Amino acid sequence: MDLESSPFHHLLDTNHAASRAEASHIHKLLFLPEQELQNIDKEIARLDTLLHDLRSRREKVVSYIHKHRRLLSPIHRIPPEIIAELFNHCLPSAHPPTRDLSEAPLLLTLVCKQWREIAFNTPCLWAALHIYIPHSRVSDEEFMDRRKKGIKQWLERSGNLPISLSLTHQSGSDVQVYSEKTPLSSLMECLIEHSPRWKDLILNVPNAALQLIVAVPREKLAVLQRLFVSAPYSFLSRDLEKSFTAFLDRLPRLTSLHFRGYFSITHQPQSGFQWSKLTELSLLHRNDHDPVLHCNNVMKLLSQTPDLRVCKLEIGLDSTYIEHRVTLPLLHDLTLIFSYYDDSQPQTAVALAQSLNASSLSYLAIMDSWGKEYHDAQSFFFELLLKLLGESTSLQTLQVRVALPFPDLICCLQLVPRLKSLTIGSVRPDWLSTRFPGSEVDYFIGVLSRSPAIVASTNADSLPESSLPLCPELETLKLLCMRPHPSLSVLLNLIKSRREYSSRTCGPDVCKCRALRTLEVFCPTARDRDADSPEIMEAFEQLRKEGMNICIAYFGYSSLRMKVEEDDFPLEGFFDSDTWKNKTYPGNSSLVYI
């Protein structure tokens, strides 16, 4: 049935009005096609019915097979005790468990009846919990009662195991006092009922809530080993300071103390707290109102903590004389943040570098918080890095967040050829970008890649003696919040060059170069993704397909979520979250990703 064979072909798709004779002809012409159309429709309906019946039969057969094959699944032969052990490895490692249904342990209860029963009867799955109380809900009795019941049910499942609790409630007023009738006080009492089982306690709460915690008697604190406190500033802090110091004295098994806030807990002469028992110590301030430790006080404190493994301190560089020399043989994780710099006596700062001996470091972070360059401070940071890196034989991870000339940084990095991870800069939104001369940025990356262009254009005496790139075992590189930012072509050449070096054969006594596995770059400038050539974009996509972890993000800091009515998010309020991971969260639509 061809349109071209129709006697009316020349009139089709026109505005021609058929005459009476033509209309009669057309009706006769369409009799057979319309009959055929009815037959086709009937056949389609018949086949649809048949197809529907076949699909229904197929679903029944598939269900029959699936239900029987489930009986053959190896997971059903695993004893519940083994499944419970596997569940324990499903818990999040970067933060305490939350009430988020997309994470363990609650996720495990949604799979099947058997897993639900196993999960509910595995106490170790419920021995840790992060609790977030939005400020807007603290007066909502129904909400707080529901949250309290959920917490009570969660902790009851943990049996008699020691528990780890994380509580975040940021009040709009630090001077409020909770009475026994308030919903939050009732929730706090629920938590305090379990104080004899507190093993780890993480608190980011107003001072009034801290008052309830520090009033817990000694006999109910015998298990507590790790304490994290973030305390806001208010005029009541002075009165609470002594109570908190007395609280520390009532913790006989405390080995880990992480404090962020106003209290000058190291300046309490009447305190009987034994600093020597600590293996982890972190003392930071929250804002400019909080006092910081000065150089001599830091060294005096560290002299009392010979068994430290982890240390994170905020230090005010000043001109005080340093009386103590400290050796920390067990220290493997050290973070030093310098809050301001007194340039009247820079040699005192250098003395701090010479007074600290930590030869077992595997992680080192050196940062400043003043957001601008002090040229006199550069010599201090250079001396400090030379001292700490020169003594360490096992350093794996280094983070440098200070304005240090790249030639000096290269000199320091030559001391750690076994370095696995290097981070330069920071994505803290309240810190300015780390600024370096534009040519130095590309030069530094060229030294990391030991590209032929860098080798040819540089005096041989200024390059590392090795024929390999700087830090040949480096696998993770993060360049965060640097201006000017490195070009994509330079980064691509870095990856390719180190891959080429890693493919070369080396002798048994020669350090082998490794290819980069992770590259993360954050550039605090606006950028159009289409501004880069398709070839470069395809090259990065190909590297990702080959298994390399690459995240290159542009534009400035913004909140992960727009302001919405719902503010009760399970994953909010962690004590020490990773800003870079938060910043590159897929929901942050303000960022441009390469």
> Which pLDDT does position 366 carry in this prediction?
92
Q: Is the separation of the CB atoms in 524 and 433 below 8 Å?
A: yes
Domain count, the chain: 1
| Identity of residue 371 | G
Residue 78 domain flag: no
Q: Is the separation of the CB atoms in 543 and 502 below 8 Å?
A: no
CA distance 551 to 517: 11
Whose CA is closest to 167, among 585, 583, 574?
574
Whose CA is closest to 229, among 194, 266, 197, 203?
203
Helical spans, DSSP H, in 458-587: 488-502, 534-545, 579-583
Written in H, E and C, the secondary structure of 263-302 is: CCHHHCCCCCCCHHHCCEEEEECCCCCCCCEEHHHHHHHH
pLDDT digits 0-9 by tens, 558-586: 444 444 445 667 777 777 766 555 555 55
> Which pLDDT does position 8 carry in this prediction?
82
> Which pLDDT does position 71 carry in this prediction?
86
Whose CA is closest to 357, among 320, 328, 322?
328
Q: 517-545 burial, b if ≥16 CB within 10 A, otherwise e?
A: eebbbbbbeebeeeebeeeeeeebeebee
pTM, entire model: 0.79
> Which pLDDT does position 376 carry in this prediction?
64
> Which pLDDT does position 190 carry in this prediction?
92
Whose CA is closest to 265, among 319, 210, 221, 224?
210
Whose CA is closest to 195, among 215, 217, 221?
221
> Which pLDDT does position 269 carry in this prediction?
47
Q: Is the separation of the CB atoms in 339 and 314 below 8 Å?
A: yes
Which domain, by its residues, includes 471?
420-430+440-594
Residue 558 domain flag: yes
Residue 583 domain flag: yes
> Which pLDDT does position 430 carry in this prediction?
46
Q: Is the separation of the CB atoms in 415 and 390 below 8 Å?
A: yes
- The C-alpha angle 299, 363, 335, rounded to 5 degrees, equals 40
| DSSP β-ladder status, 293-294 and 326-327 | unpaired
Residue 560 domain flag: yes
CA distance 335 to 312: 4
Helical spans, DSSP H, in 507-566: 534-545
The SS3 assignment for 359 reads: coil
Q: Scanning the structure block, which residue is given the tokens 């820079």?
A: 346
Residue 230 domain flag: no
Residue 455 domain flag: yes
Name, in order, each residue with C-beta under 8 angstroms of 185's C-beta and a sequence gap of 6 or more.
178, 179, 212
Per-residue pLDDT tens digits of the chain, which is 594 residues long: 777 788 887 788 888 888 888 888 888 888 888 899 999 999 999 999 999 999 999 999 999 999 898 888 888 889 999 999 999 999 998 889 999 999 999 999 999 999 999 999 999 999 999 999 888 888 888 988 999 999 999 999 999 999 999 999 876 555 455 556 677 788 889 999 999 999 999 998 887 788 889 999 999 999 999 999 987 655 456 667 788 888 998 999 999 999 987 656 655 545 678 899 999 999 987 766 666 778 888 888 899 999 999 999 988 877 777 778 899 999 999 999 887 655 545 566 567 777 888 889 999 999 887 655 556 677 778 888 888 898 888 899 999 988 788 888 899 999 999 999 999 986 554 445 555 555 678 888 888 888 655 555 555 455 555 578 889 999 999 998 777 778 888 899 999 999 988 888 766 656 688 999 999 988 877 766 666 788 888 999 999 999 999 988 876 544 444 444 456 677 777 777 665 555 555 545 555 666
CA distance 301 to 318: 16
